[in-house]
Amino acid sequence: MTAVVPQTPWQERYLALRERLLAEYRAIPPGTPVRLAKQTSNLFRPRDASAAPGLDVAAFDGVLHVDPVTRTAEVLGMTTYEHLVDATLPYGLMPLCVPQLRTITLGGAVTGLGIESASFRNGTPHESVLEMDILTGDGEILTVTGAADDPHRDLFYGFPNSYGSLGYALRLKIELEPTKPYVLLRHVRFATASAMAEAFSHIARGRMFEDRRVDFLDGTVFAPDEQYLTIGSMVDELPSGMTPSDYTGMGIYYRSIASRTIDALTIHDYLWRWDTDWFWCSRAFGAQKPGVRRLWPKSKLRSDVYWKLVALERKYDLSNRVARRRGRPVREAVVQDIEVPVDRLAEFLDFFHREVGIEPIWVCPLQQRDPQARWPLYEFDPSVLYVNVGFWSTVALPEGVDPGEGRVNRRIEQVVTDLDGRKSLYSTAFYDREAFWSIYGGQDYIGLKENYDPQGRLKDLYAKVVERK
Ligand SMILES: Cc1cc2nc3c(=O)[nH]c(=O)nc-3n(C[C@H](O)[C@H](O)[C@H](O)COP(=O)(O)OP(=O)(O)OC[C@H]3O[C@@H](n4cnc5c(N)ncnc54)[C@H](O)[C@@H]3O)c2cc1C
């Protein structure tokens, strides 16, 4: 274990927490699998109920220290972005990439893959981590950095997209960037996907739009001939006569995109603009009908509330049971985020409209921040701008097709691979072993697993993601 000498109250607090967790780890009989017992999740792949003992990490949700001078924060691994942002915004600072669902945790976004509208300039959350303490499968706590002389730099770079299969991040030191009080939004409509893709490239390269610096960039596709880029600029003051909108009550953010060309939000409300209605997914629960919404407590218009409802629905397969009884088509869940190079975006969307037909669709550009870095389990070409495409719904299947086959999801996997893209692993995946490891850094992963979890106390990535163990 790396020796840390506590010098400040936050370091003392942290050392006490990790000692307690280590004791818990050691109490688990040797050779027994280990897993996390967490209160929240944003995963979308059901797992077989596990009997493995869970490490109680509830105490690891909190920000230890914010340093406004160095613009860094010391953060516990299971801290939700909601709590992280609450701690940094009073200093006029925020993380470089804030995934848009409140209960996504810093550790979850670093070991998974986080994306947001600042990703075209700041990349993904793991790219602004300076240092991490990782509890490895082997029961050691290692402090890892990307430094050339760090003996564990392979773990630092191999951690993103390992989904907790190499170890758990307990403490992360991250970079922060300055904010301004408001975000001015311009919603720009495009009649074709290729025109939108061209605009993505142009704006991401120049980082300017109509004489303003562009801080945030994402888009929403409502139909093949109706898509919008939302261009956000942080500002100290709003143009005269303009007040910030409020989409945390009766107003619905995604609907405003097609009905307004200009808008403004406070920086806080901008960061959570997609959480209130889980993008648009809250409509499945009637939460967008004025009569229902009026009665729905404002504090419960949140993605984690809907996530729990969906988890129940999926556990009992309620919709498909009713559909079968009524002789209606059963439906396959198609909940995925994928990335393709920007110049393949139009091809992907053409395929998607034609064969899948889910709308709306979220689109968000991203580019690797450090061109020299190599993140072996999820490799981007640093010279290429990618576009993340997110779609979260169900598709009706022809009679006799079992949703468990993953027919639509498999087709999407194939098309994404053909277009030099890749998909995030927070949801279902159907790759065979060979295809999976050829995409997600198989050779590097074998070495990492041997070094940091030689006894296989943590489930391996393929078992977790594809076999849902
Ligand atoms: C509908 C939907 C939309 C989404 N949209 C976005 C989006 O727009 N932007 C975005 O960034 N992400 C998005 N996500 C994905 C989300 O970021 C990932 O699922 C992320 O991994 C979830 O993190 P979590 O903190 O909720 O972790 P969990 O769901 O609790 O865990 C995820 C995995 O990470 C492991 N893990 C958790 N904490 C740690 C830790 N500290 N150290 C090591 N391993 C750990 C767990 O073992 C588990 O395997 C979306 C997900 C869904 C379902």
- Beta bridge mates, 396: 331
- What is the 101 CA–ligand 1 centroid distance (Å)? 10
Number of Cβ atoms within 10 Å of the Cβ of 351: 16
| Residue 164 CA, ligand 1 centroid: distance in Å | 10
Instruction: Please state the atom number of ligand 1 nearest to the C-alpha of residue 424.
Output: 15
Closest ligand 1 atom to the C-alpha of 78? Answer: 41
Ligand 1 centroid distance, CA of 103 (Å): 9
| Residue identifier of the C-alpha nearest atom 38 of ligand 1 | 108
Q: Residue 49 has what pLDDT? A: 56
Determine the pLDDT at residue 468.
85
Can you name the residues that pair with 423 across neighbouring β-strands? Answer: 338
Q: H or E element: which one contains 232? A: strand 226-235
Residue 5's pLDDT band, with cuts at 50, 70 and 90, is low
* Segment 384-434, tens digit of pLDDT: 999 999 999 999 999 889 999 999 999 999 999 999 999 999 999 999 999
Q: Quick check: 332 pLDDT over 80?
A: yes
Q: pLDDT band for position 310 (50/70/90)?
A: confident
Which regions of 288-344 does DSSP assign to beta strands (E)? 331-341
Tell me what the pLDDT averaged over the chain comes to. 94
Nearest CA to ligand 1 atom 47: 164
In CATH terms, are 9-179 and 317-430 the same topology? Answer: no
Centre a 10 Å sphere on the Cβ of residue 24 and count the other Cβ atoms it contains.
16
Q: What is the pLDDT of residues 437-461, one digit of tens each?
A: 999 999 999 999 999 999 999 999 9
Q: Measure 112 CA to ligand 1 centroid, in angstroms.
A: 6
Q: What is the mean pLDDT of residues 303-320?
A: 81
Supply the pLDDT for residue 452. 97
Query: What pLDDT, in 10s, does the model give residues 169-226?
Result: 999 999 999 999 999 999 999 999 999 999 999 999 999 999 999 999 999 999 999 9
> Quick one: pLDDT band at residue 322, thresholds 50, 70, 90?
confident
Evaluate: CB of 66 within 6 angstroms of ligand 1: no
pLDDT for 37 equals: 83
Report the alpha-carbon distance of residue 199 to residue 116 in Å, rounded.
Answer: 18
Record the pTM: 0.94
The per-residue pLDDT for range 46-69, each reduced to its tens digit, is: 666 555 668 999 999 999 999 999
Name residue 15's amino acid: L
Residue 4 has pLDDT above 60, yes or no: no
> Can you name the CATH fold of 317-430?
Alpha-Beta Plaits (3.30.70)
- Thinking of the domain 9-179, which architecture would CATH place it in? 2-Layer Sandwich (3.30)
Domains of the chain by residue range: 9-179, 182-273, 317-430
Query: Would you state the pLDDT for residue 314?
Result: 75
Residue 2 pLDDT greater than 60, yes or no: no
End-to-end CA distance of the chain: 29
Q: Is residue 297 classed as helix, strand or coil in its secondary structure? A: coil
Is the shortest distance between the CB of 38 and ligand 1 below 6 Å? yes
pLDDT digits (tens, 9 = 90+) for 86-143: 999 999 999 999 999 999 999 999 999 899 999 999 999 999 999 999 999 999 999 9
